[in-house]
Structure 1
């Protein structure tokens, strides 16, 4: 067995995790990417972090940017410590040497600086700019090989920085001799350009594959390791442990509530009540001593507190007591990976057992590619489950009526439970409908029920048993053939009255989503035919089936 590989921790948040532990101590790595992608900031941050650990750093500039100008701009970052300059961090310019003595002079100058400084880390920025001094591709290839060999024998970690394109990775000699290749890129999503880091190559280590988002903050570069789905199928849900949604009738529809550790998709058009349902879920957790993180990408904290207060729920008090944490982000410039990192951090900070994300529609718009969104959400929900959280997310679907569920990236397929909210037109009246499309491992109710939003919150009503085709958006009143001589409307009223035991005309009209005048007409006919009895109770007229 060979010697264990010595690693240098870069100190860049998230980068060492991506690299697999750090940078090999005596390696040569290329840091490449287009102008403005963050190459110089990343390398200088590594150099200063090493200097703070007692390892000297040497930063060599070439033809692209003088050292003084570079220090002036990098000085705005918190990692830049002026007290380290000249002793722990040394800047030197190779530009004049390159112009006067050519590439061979550059090799000799680099060696002289190495002997003088004895650095643990050295960076040459920009290495690609030196290519303009070569007479041919063969000459630059010989120069690159010679410099790489000399750097590797000096026992320091070297970074060759350059504005290389993805096509250059296939043909430039620097990538063939390099031990590591770190590629920075920028991609546009809508009006926002997001930065990504990918380790294309790193000898002796197993870096996390794929693209990882990063930001340039006042502290410097912050890398967000890609959320990865688990390599193996995770343990199945424990159906013995159930948690409530805060709506008893919905819990009954789900077969006893939600399985602990599951994640539930609440889908529906705008305004159907998705957020209200999530507020119920959060309130139930608060009351049962299960801390909640409520992540909203549509509404602000104050608005959510106000809506909850309208139902009589003191969310602000729960927040003060540490039982509730809001995480609200504007969707316009949403960056999914930093959001996931912050969300998981908030869950850990209060030991959250319930998480709401309202809604994943905004996340889908930011991620772009369906496959990337699917991996992102699967990785996020798996991470939240490992933290012991049960998750409820919302998603807006474009159809106001009908059966299409435009679940972006196969989200409904990934979810444990799916609750669908819809608008329904009944007798020229718009009402709301709720159904459970999926409840993993449960014998859930298959009926479509009416629901309404009251001053106390969301209330689930009776099924639309008098109508067929409700989900399609074209409801049809079921005919009452079992009673001879009755119309479909009269049969529907009679069935509803039999289920209720007794009711007033107003109660039946609300239950059936039918105009009061039509219900009263049906009741009068049913009474004349002897199907129902009319009586007074508490000063009100009521009806009972015979």
Structure 2
């Protein structure tokens, strides 16, 4: 960076990466992309060129060491990239170095890159390329027995590419996810920019992430960013959406679908609110979610209803028991139901499916019924990434959203560790619970939080019949929410004081959230 001027960026066009990189890769420089097997290196290099052509009209050269051009063309077709057509149009050119790397005899001494770089330079000038991808340097460096020779070769590559004024991506392998950055330990010191992709196996689950380690003289976002590979969209960085600016906060209130609950939350929830409804098995979470969707139907609004751990048929049968006809609601075009068990896909792929439905259906409301079921599939960090990403999408579009979740036990109503963090991202927190009174199991409900609004602090009785859920009067002493086990963020406590015994005291208890 000279004279205080910011380094120019080349947008990659890869979904989410340019937000992480704050504009893209530093223009006219070489970026080392390093990662283990299956971490998405080749796809990044390929998509960097493809998006350059499709979105920015910038031709590119692909230098192939590991795969033949025909293999790359075939693989790219599955993503909708017609490389053969781009070649015919003079927008894409291969430099096939795969045959050169097939020799069994290793070169001893200095290996002259002159012939290879002459081919690259000729290809760049022939089509006026602005981007170059080299995949993978490991196949080239196997010719060198000495790290200093590898350093020298990299300097040659970077110098020639820099003189061509192209922005380039050079992929290479690493042996460990969190070991040294590159296989030979010198690559990251030669090049100005370093990006790492990871494919970590933890608790029998794979988690792909991408990290910008350095952009010399240029800013970038730090840390690992979750990503997935979508058959249609290629690499998708998550949480992308929460980086985007949101819509202005809404002052409009909408119904939850239950008039008594509307009264408890201060006259309905704000149009852009995210609601977390937590309760044990059978407490009324899915019923509340269906009433929420019915409120959208009655208001002439679209609602996307995604359910985990139930099929579409089961949900329809259950809805019919409360007088709700999902078939009629779907036939009207105002409801779309999506059902999938957590185990059928990764958490990232569930996010893509839901966000794709949001983009396609444009709902005013969203229901995610059974969010906690994803804990079977995700680590706490993955679940939080899912929530942050999806929260970003719904906030950007002002979608009224309801998440339901189930605590792990039937005892004290506390959130699991990931759900505690997720609760801090929501606007309204509602707790359903069971209590034993007069030798019978009864239901109760409490509103723990409504940001920006007064709310009822009483724990109230709940009954469910064929007409739905009914909320009654206060039931003092129904259950305890011990502050020492609730695990709320620092400085916050539950608004339910277990020492208060009368209905008046419960109702008058001040909001301390």
User: 1:194 & 1:200 partners in 2: Cα distance?
Assistant: 18
User: 1:315 & 1:221 partners in 2: Cα distance?
Assistant: 34
Indicate yes or no: 2:93 matched with 1:89: yes
Q: Of residues 92, 107, 123 in structure 1, which corresponds to 2:133?
A: 123
User: 1:346 & 1:175 partners in 2: Cα distance?
Assistant: 40
Indicate yes or no: 2:320 matched with 1:309: yes
Q: How does 1:328-407 map to 2 (within 5 A)?
A: 328-370=339-381, 373-374=383-384, 377-378=387-388, 380-406=390-416
> What is the aligned partner in structure 2 of residue 542 from structure 1?
none
Q: How does 1:95-110 map to 2 (within 5 A)?
A: 95=101, 99=105, 104-110=110-116
> What is the aligned partner in structure 2 of residue 36 from structure 1?
38
Question: What do residues 89-126 of structure 1 show as CA deviations (whole Å, max 9, x unaligned)?
Answer: 22422326895765744411222212432262333333
User: 2:243 & 2:144 partners in 1: Cα distance?
Assistant: 48
Q: How does 1:38-187 map to 2 (within 5 A)?
A: 38-50=40-52, 53=57, 55-61=59-65, 77-84=79-86, 88-93=92-97, 94-95=100-101, 99=105, 104-118=110-124, 120=129, 121-164=131-174, 165=176, 166-169=178-181, 172-187=185-200
Q: Of residues 436, 456, 461 in structure 1, which corresponds to 2:472?
A: 461
> What is the aligned partner in structure 2 of residue 247 from structure 1?
258
Matched-pair contact (CA < 8 Å) for 1:266–1:419: yes
Matched-pair contact (CA < 8 Å) for 1:401–1:424: no
Stretch moving more, 250-259 or 65-74: 65-74
Greater relative CO, 1 or 2 (CA 8 Å, sep 6+): 2
Matched-pair contact (CA < 8 Å) for 2:293–2:303: yes
| TM-score, length basis structure 1 | 0.74
> What is the aligned partner in structure 2 of residue 496 from structure 1?
none
Identify if the C-alpha distance between structure 1 residues 150 and 76 changes in structure 2 by more than 3 Å, giving closer, same or farther.
Answer: same
Question: What do residues 288-341 of structure 1 show as CA deviations (whole Å, max 9, x unaligned)?
Answer: 123222222232333323322332223333323332223333211444444445
Question: What do residues 247-279 of structure 1 show as CA deviations (whole Å, max 9, x unaligned)?
Answer: 222222333222332222211111211010111
User: 2:4 & 2:17 partners in 1: Cα distance?
Assistant: 26
Q: Which residues of structure 2 form unaligned runs of 5+?
A: 483-513
Q: How does 1:499-510 map to 2 (within 5 A)?
A: none
Q: How does 1:153-232 map to 2 (within 5 A)?
A: 153-164=163-174, 165=176, 166-169=178-181, 172-203=185-216, 206-219=219-232, 221-227=234-240
Identify if the C-alpha distance between structure 1 residues 91 and 71 changes in structure 2 by more than 3 Å, giving closer, same or farther.
Answer: farther
Indicate yes or no: 2:324 matched with 1:326: no
From the CA coordinates, give the structure whose radius of gyration is larger.
1
Question: What do residues 400-437 of structure 1 show as CA deviations (whole Å, max 9, x unaligned)?
Answer: 24343436233334433222111222333223222223
Question: What do residues 5-50 of structure 1 show as CA deviations (whole Å, max 9, x unaligned)?
Answer: 6655544444444443444442211121112222223323334555
Matched-pair contact (CA < 8 Å) for 1:17–1:225: no
Q: Which residues of structure 1 form unaligned runs of 5+?
A: 474-546
Stretch moving more, 261-270 or 67-76: 67-76
Aligned to 1:113, the other structure's residue is in SS state helix
User: 1:146 & 1:192 partners in 2: Cα distance?
Assistant: 40
How many aligned positions are there? 467
Matched-pair contact (CA < 8 Å) for 2:316–2:326: yes
Aligned to 2:306, the other structure's residue is in SS state strand
